[in-house]
């Protein structure tokens, strides 16, 4: 039988073992928490090299917004000297593919991500942040020798449906021949817009695509039978030399409101006022979509575009700012 002394010795050893075990457990928990914080970005200043106003990032941009984006980047980099925005201008499909593949943390496009795309990103611990920055319009342009510069909404629909294939179907007196519709690229947002707008399965043989907005303008300039489809950003800034020179090379088509088929109706061109009030029928929203899991340069640049200075540039570019500026007019009696 154990003596009292032996029992006390064994109890002391047991308490020492329990104490050492507790110390070991606390140490293991501490190491585990440190590793968790480190892997999840606890050392953000070391892991991420950019902040909202410092660093370098790539931005994928739908080519429809090349002129607007170049103006925004120029202003942003002029204000924040230690930033560098590397722009990549591509078709809408390619820009979104780059975003989904994590090639770029920020994109500028004219559609939001689909539910499936958002779910895919969330599964990978990314929560995309979408910011509306502007209201854009799709302009229809024709050759300067073409006298038909006003189209009913239903006429445009029937052109894209393939029901109208010749200019004399629009105007019996027209001397023009077979009608041709030219897009910038079948992977861009412009053909997708009309496919969704008119619920088209495919485009008729009268429609084809080149490789860029500039090529659309070149084709229309040299082909009297053509209708070009481009973003209004390419033609709406009179202070921009590129935009201003383009406007000399074609005519912009006016379109009537849907359902208005009166010959004396008003035809609206894609001017900012008509875009804002909804009179021009072919409009769409423009978004910045950011996938950075921290407040980095993607956040800083998208916030700048959505802010006062960036929205002024949107307005100056001929698009309608998402944050509409208020203009007060004093009326004297």
3-class secondary structure, 70: helix
Predicted TM-score of the model (pTM) = 0.80
- Residue 217 inside a domain? The answer is yes
Cross-strand pairs, 61:
89, 108
Torsional class of 68: left (φ above 0), alpha (ψ -120 to 50), beta (otherwise): alpha
More confident call, 248 vs 134? 134
Based on the domain organization, do 92 and 41 belong to the same domain?
A: no
- Residue 5 inside a domain? The answer is no
329 vs 2: CA distance, rounded Å: 103
The distance between the two most distant Cα atoms of the chain, rounded to a whole number of Å, is 124
How far apart are the two ends of the chain, measured CA to CA in Å? 116
DSSP string, 273-304: HHHHHT-SS-EEEEEEEE--SSSSHHHHHHHH
At which residue do the structure tokens 């958002």 appear? 118
Based on the domain organization, do 28 and 131 belong to the same domain?
A: no
Based on the domain organization, do 22 and 101 belong to the same domain?
A: no
Based on the domain organization, do 59 and 19 belong to the same domain?
A: no
The full 3-state SS of 92-130, as one line of letters, equals HHHHHHHHHCCCCCEEEECCCCCHHHHHHHHHCCCCCEE
User: How does residue 37 score in pLDDT terms, banded at 50, 70 and 90?
Assistant: very low
**304: which 2 tokens?**
């700048």
pLDDT in tens, 202-230: 999 999 999 999 899 999 999 999 999 99
pLDDT at 220: 95
Checking if the pLDDT of 268 tops 70, the result is yes
Based on the domain organization, do 62 and 123 belong to the same domain?
A: yes
CATH number at residue 304: 3.40.190.290
- Residue 227 inside a domain? The answer is yes
| CA-based nearest residue to 289, from 124, 140, 158, 105 | 105
pLDDT in tens, 155-172: 999 999 999 999 999 999
For residues 321-328, give the mean pLDDT. Answer: 66
| CA-based nearest residue to 240, from 74, 81, 90 | 74
- Residue 331 inside a domain? The answer is no
Number of domains in the chain: 2
103, 229, 231, 292, 301 from 51: Cα distances, Å: 18, 38, 32, 11, 10
Checking if the pLDDT of 257 tops 70, the result is yes
Based on the domain organization, do 148 and 73 belong to the same domain?
A: yes
- Residue 2 inside a domain? The answer is no
For residues 259-263, give the mean pLDDT. Answer: 88
- Residue 120 inside a domain? The answer is yes
Q: At what angle do helices 308-316 and 66-79 cross, to 10 degrees?
A: 140
**Cβ 215 vs Cβ 246: under 8 Å:** no
- Backbone CA torsion sign across 178, 183, 184, 187: negative
**Cβ 17 vs Cβ 25: under 8 Å:** no
Based on the domain organization, do 32 and 83 belong to the same domain?
A: no
Based on the domain organization, do 231 and 216 belong to the same domain?
A: yes
| CA-based nearest residue to 289, from 125, 64, 98, 50 | 98
Based on the domain organization, do 53 and 179 belong to the same domain?
A: yes
Based on the domain organization, do 27 and 55 belong to the same domain?
A: no
275 vs 291: CA distance, rounded Å: 30
Instruction: Quote the domain boundaries for residue 30.
Output: 11-45
Based on the domain organization, do 27 and 64 belong to the same domain?
A: no
- Residue 15 inside a domain? The answer is yes
pLDDT at 248: 76
- Residue 1 inside a domain? The answer is no
Checking if the pLDDT of 101 tops 80, the result is yes
Based on the domain organization, do 19 and 121 belong to the same domain?
A: no
């Amino acid at each position: 039988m154990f003596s009292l002394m032996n029992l006390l010795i064994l109890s002391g050893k047991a308490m020492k073992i329990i104490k050492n075990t507790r110390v070991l457990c606390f140490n293991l928990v501490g190491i585990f928490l440190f590793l968790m914080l480190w892997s999840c970005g606890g050392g953000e200043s070391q892991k991420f090299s950019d902040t909202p106003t410092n660093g370098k990032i790539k931005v994928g941009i739908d080519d429809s917004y090349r002129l607007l984006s170049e103006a925004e980047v120029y202003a942003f980099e002029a204000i924040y000297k230690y930033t560098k925005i590397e722009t990549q201008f591509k078709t809408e499909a390619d820009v979104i593919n780059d975003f989904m593949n994590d090639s770029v943390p920020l994109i500028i496009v004219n559609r939001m991500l689909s539910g499936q795309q958002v779910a895919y990103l969330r599964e990978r611990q990314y929560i995309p942040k979408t910011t509306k920055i502007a209201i854009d319009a799709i302009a229809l342009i024709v050759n300067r020798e073409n006298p038909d510069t006003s189209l009913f909404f239903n006429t445009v629909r029937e052109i894209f449906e393939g029901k109208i294939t010749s200019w004399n179907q629009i105007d019996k007196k027209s001397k023009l021949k077979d009608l041709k519709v030219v897009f910038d690229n079948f992977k861009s947002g412009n053909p997708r817009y009309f496919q969704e707008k008119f619920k088209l399965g495919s485009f008729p043989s009268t429609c084809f695509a080149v490789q860029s907005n500039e090529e659309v303008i070149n084709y229309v300039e040299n082909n009297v039978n053509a209708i070009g489809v481009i973003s209004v950003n390419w033609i709406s800034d009179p202070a921009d030399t590129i935009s201003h020179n383009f406007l000399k090379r074609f005519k912009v088509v006016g379109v009537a409101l849907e359902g208005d088929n009166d010959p004396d109706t008003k035809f609206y061109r894609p001017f900012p006022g008509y875009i804002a009030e909804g009179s021009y029928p072919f409009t769409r929203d423009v978004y910045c979509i950011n996938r950075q899991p921290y407040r980095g340069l993607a956040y800083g640049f998208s916030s700048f575009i959505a802010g006062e200075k960036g929205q002024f540039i949107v307005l100056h570019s001929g698009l309608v700012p998402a944050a509409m500026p208020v203009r007060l007019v004093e009326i004297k009696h």
